[in-house]
Amino acid sequence: MTKTNELKKWMVMSLVAAAAILHNAAVAAAEPQAPCLFIFGDSLIDPGNNNGMETLARVDFRPYGIDFPLGATGRFSNGKTVADFIAELLGFEDYIPSYLTARGDQILKGVNYASAAAGIRAETGRHWGNRTSFDGQLQNFNNTVQQITGLLGSRRAASDHLRKCVYISAIGNNEFINNYFLTLFYNTSKVYTIEEYMRLVLKQYSEQLEVLYTLGARKIAIIGTAPLGCIPINVVLNSYDGNSCVESNNLASQLYNKKLQAKIDVFNAMFPDAQFTYIDGYNPMSDVYHNAEAYGFIVKTRACCGSSVICLPNDGICINRRQYLYWDFAHPSEAACLLVARRAYQSQKPTDAYPYDLRSLALL
């Protein structure tokens, strides 16, 4: 072989090798920051798990999903939820499937178990009808773990896989707005002081998170409650001027979150091979609410659609949904969800997460 041919062969091989390196780098770059994402919660992040239930807490109809690529899937939003945006920010190309629809090896990349009206306590949200409480969601996750064990061939392989995943638990809002403060349906506030009730809820929540750990979770993000006094249904029904946040609700949410965050160090001490972190569910939304116009929101105390807690099929909707902070009377718009998700993924303030934001948690 002549030197010229040898040189050509070397150049071709070099180009092929370089192309392979670039291809592998591109594939690696496209990989999500964690191999899987499992999500637990309520209507704020429900992707449609309530669709097959006899319940008022289901929205698998228009105008819900009007801005969502797949239409009315059962999300309580005009478009994507906070969970959808978090999944995108973590690098997942597809939406994390609902437990209702997840099939086959889809579950290896994660499942969303969130259920509208669900709570930490079994009775929470019962006036809405059927829903899957956090205990039920954990039972569903256990079913998924058994399926993953079958797919991967052994419990050891399943455990190795599950410990690398990110877990998000965003539940607790309904303990207040669909339980303690809803005195028409619940007598909880007559039985317990707010401090006693919080201790009771946090004790049960701690036990449930221990179950989640036992089932294989190791990277666990716990999202605190939102500024419940600022949701439109509370503003309209309970504020003195119909235009102000209900401070008693907000103070309860802040106190609960403070107690919840204090649990993080306890969990991390109890389970040294796990990483628990607290994600602030209050201040990111509160900041947007109190500085709405700076974020492009013109309307913050009224919903884009509906005249009750949720929109009905024939309800009219606002024209410019990007300018509304809330989609319906209880759930933020897609535009607001994006802002909240960004701060959960990457902290903008020291109080946004403790000790890790979601980006850092995924990389641990």
Question: For 221-269, how does the pLDDT look when each residue is reduced to its tens digit (9 = 90+)?
Answer: 999 999 999 999 999 888 777 778 999 999 999 999 999 999 999 999 9
Give residue 360's pLDDT band: very low, low, confident or very high (50, 70, 90). Answer: very high
For residue 306, pLDDT beyond 60: yes
Residue ranges per structural domain of the chain: 37-363
For residue 143, pLDDT beyond 80: yes
List the CATH code of the domain at 37-363: 3.40.50.1110
Sort strands 353-354 and 275-279 into parallel, antiparallel or unpaired: antiparallel
For residue 13, pLDDT beyond 50: no
Cα–Cα distance list, 226 to 26, 165, 177, 262, 283 (Å): 38, 25, 11, 17, 8
Give me the catalytic one of 169, 331, 333, 347: 331
Radius of gyration of the chain (CA): 23
Q: What is the DSSP letter of 55?
A: B
Q: What is residue 115's predicted lDDT score, i.e. its pLDDT?
A: 98
Give residue 131's pLDDT band: very low, low, confident or very high (50, 70, 90). Answer: very high
Strand (E) or helix (H) holding 10: helix 3-30
**Ramachandran region, residue 125 (left: φ > 0; alpha: ψ -120 to 50; beta: rest):** left
Residue 331 a catalytic site member:
yes
Residue 328 a catalytic site member:
yes
Question: Are the C-beta atoms of residues 163 and 216 closer than 8 Å to each other?
Answer: yes
For residue 63, whether the previous peptide bond is cis, meaning omega lies within 30 degrees of 0, is yes
Question: Are the C-beta atoms of residues 328 and 304 closer than 8 Å to each other?
Answer: yes
Which of 10-24, 145-159, 268-282 shows the lowest per-residue confidence on average (mean pLDDT)?
10-24
DSSP-assigned states of every residue in 214-234? HTT--EEEEE----GGGSHHH
For residue 209, pLDDT beyond 90: yes
d(CA 130, CA 115): 10
Give residue 197's pLDDT band: very low, low, confident or very high (50, 70, 90). Answer: very high
Give me the catalytic one of 43, 98, 133, 169: 43
Q: What is the DSSP letter of 208?
A: H
Q: First vs last Cα of the chain: how many Å apart? A: 52
306: nearest Cα among 284, 342, 330: 330
Residue 315 a catalytic site member:
no
Over residues 284-289, the mean pLDDT reads: 97
Average pLDDT, the chain: 92
Question: Are the C-beta atoms of residues 96 and 111 closer than 8 Å to each other?
Answer: yes
Give me the catalytic one of 42, 84, 280, 328: 328
For residue 292, pLDDT beyond 80: yes
